[in-house]
C-alpha cells in the first residue's frame, strides 16, 4: 500500500490561486445573471389589439398603452383585457429572464427552474380567470 505524497507548498499555493480565480469567475457570472434578470422585460399586446403592457421580471408594470378603440369596450371587458395582458407581459418577462439565465447556466440550473415555474403560475392564474 502506498501513501499519497502530500502536496508541496508551491502546489498548494497554485491550487488555491486556481480556486480563487474560479470563485472570481463564478461571482462575475452571478453578477451578469442578476443584471440580466433585473433588466428582463416583455411587452405584450392584448388579443384584441386595444392595449399593450410592458412588465419587468419582478412583476412591475412599466408601461400601459391604450388605443382609442379600447374605450369602446365596457369597463368590465376592458378590465379583463387589461388584467390578462398584464399577466401575459409578466409571464413573458419571467420567460425572458429564464432564457437569459439558461443561456449562462444551462436549463438544469435551479434558478432557471424557479423562473420558469414562476412564469407558469401566471399561465395558471390566467386560465383560472378564464381568459385566452
User: Which residues make beta-bridge pairs with 64?
Assistant: 53
pLDDT at 132 over 50: no
Q: How far apart are CA 74 and CA 100, in angstroms?
A: 39
pLDDT at 7 over 90: no
What pLDDT, in 10s, does the model give residues 63-98?
999 999 998 989 999 999 999 999 999 999 999 999
pLDDT at 127 over 60: no
Reading the block at residue 122, the C-alpha cell is 401566471
Kindly report the backbone phi and psi dihedral angles of residue 108, in degrees, each rounded to the nearest multiple of 5, phi listed first. -80, -5
Would you say the pTM of this structure is higher than 0.75? no
**What's the mean pLDDT in 34-44?**
90
pLDDT at 119 over 90: no
User: What pLDDT, on a 0 to 100 scale, did the predictor assign at position 40?
Assistant: 93
What pLDDT, in 10s, does the model give residues 95-114?
999 999 898 888 998 889 98
Kindly report the backbone phi and psi dihedral angles of residue 109, in degrees, each rounded to the nearest multiple of 5, phi listed first. -70, 140
Which residues 6+ apart lie within 8 Å of 54 measured at CB? Answer: 41, 42, 43, 44, 61, 62, 63, 64, 89
User: What pLDDT, on a 0 to 100 scale, did the predictor assign at position 120?
Assistant: 83
pLDDT at 126 over 60: no
Q: How far apart are CA 34 and CA 27, in angstroms?
A: 10
What pLDDT, in 10s, does the model give residues 15-33?
999 999 999 998 998 898 8
User: What pLDDT, on a 0 to 100 scale, did the predictor assign at position 48?
Assistant: 93
Q: How far apart are CA 43 and CA 22, in angstroms?
A: 37
Query: By three-state DSSP, how is residue 103 classified?
Result: helix
Amino acid at each position: 500500500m502506498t501513501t499519497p505524497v502530500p502536496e508541496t507548498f508551491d502546489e498548494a499555493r497554485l491550487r488555491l490561486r486556481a480556486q480563487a480565480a474560479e470563485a472570481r469567475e463564478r461571482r462575475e457570472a452571478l453578477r451578469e445573471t442578476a443584471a440580466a434578470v433585473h433588466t428582463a422585460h416583455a411587452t405584450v399586446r392584448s388579443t384584441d389589439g386595444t392595449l399593450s403592457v410592458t412588465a419587468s421580471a419582478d412583476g412591475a408594470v412599466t408601461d400601459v398603452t391604450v388605443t382609442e378603440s379600447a374605450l369602446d369596450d365596457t369597463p368590465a371587458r376592458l378590465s379583463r383585457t387589461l388584467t390578462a395582458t398584464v399577466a401575459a407581459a409578466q409571464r413573458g418577462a419571467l420567460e425572458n429572464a429564464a432564457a437569459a439565465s439558461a443561456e449562462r447556466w444551462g436549463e438544469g440550473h435551479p434558478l432557471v427552474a424557479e423562473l420558469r415555474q414562476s412564469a407558469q403560475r401566471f399561465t395558471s392564474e390566467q386560465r383560472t380567470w378564464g381568459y385566452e
